[in-house]
A and B are shown apart, each in its own frame.
Chain A
């Protein structure tokens, strides 16, 4: 596709439930990143992939968060036992590869609300 796409655009769930958020990167981009953004704040890094492997998952807040990219393209961010504090906009980005001068292009985000 022309840009990074994310589904769903909005997700409302109840505390304790499991959610999956999907990201489809720009075609040909091998690096994929997940960030989350709370109201009034800048995005915060969660994890990034080069190909199928997670190159850096140091931003994942705890073991309830997990992300996969099994075929090196689409990625899914999975959150178990959701908590109200997980409510945020989850942003995905992709870049041509892992290089210091590669721009990261962002998708529209998924707004997650945990009731």
Chain B
């Protein structure tokens, strides 16, 4: 079963625009991690946000977490063509260290 569910499934924007991807999850989490994946291979870790945090920044990335709504969002500002990839959220639940992933959002940034 999938913990996270990303929305939208696909997103196409112009270079320089902001991209927002959303993630909803089903059960309580200890933390939520966001990853980027190029060409269906290795995942690059972007940000981990703890369940007691509401917002976190890293460079052009901003992640928010709303545990009352069981949702998170990833904002990429001033997008670049190199940001083209699939983005996944993954939750780690109580008593477990495994990550449960959604299906991902496929982002295309058009130069």
Question: Does A100 lie within 8 Å of B43, measured CB to CB?
Answer: no
**Contact, CB under 8 Å: A104 / B33:** yes
Contacts of A43 in B (CB 8 A): 43, 88, 90, 99, 101
B90 touches A31 (CB 8 A): no
A45 adjacent to B99 (CB under 8 Å)? yes
Q: Which of B31, B42, B44, B45 counts the most A-chain CB atoms under 10 A from its CB?
A: B42
Q: B14: CB under 8 A from chain A?
A: no
Please give me the residue from chain A that is nearest to B100 by CB atom. A45
**B positions within 8 Å CB-CB of A:** 2, 4, 30-31, 33, 35, 40-45, 48, 50, 88, 90, 92, 96-104
What is the interface of chain A, defined by CB distance below 8 A to chain B? 31, 33, 35, 37, 39-45, 48, 55-56, 59, 89, 91, 93, 95, 98-109, 111
Q: What are 13 sample pairs from A and B whose C-beta atoms fall under 8 A apart?
A: A33-B97, A33-B98, A37-B40, A42-B103, A48-B97, A89-B41, A95-B97, A100-B30, A100-B31, A100-B97, A101-B48, A102-B97, A104-B45
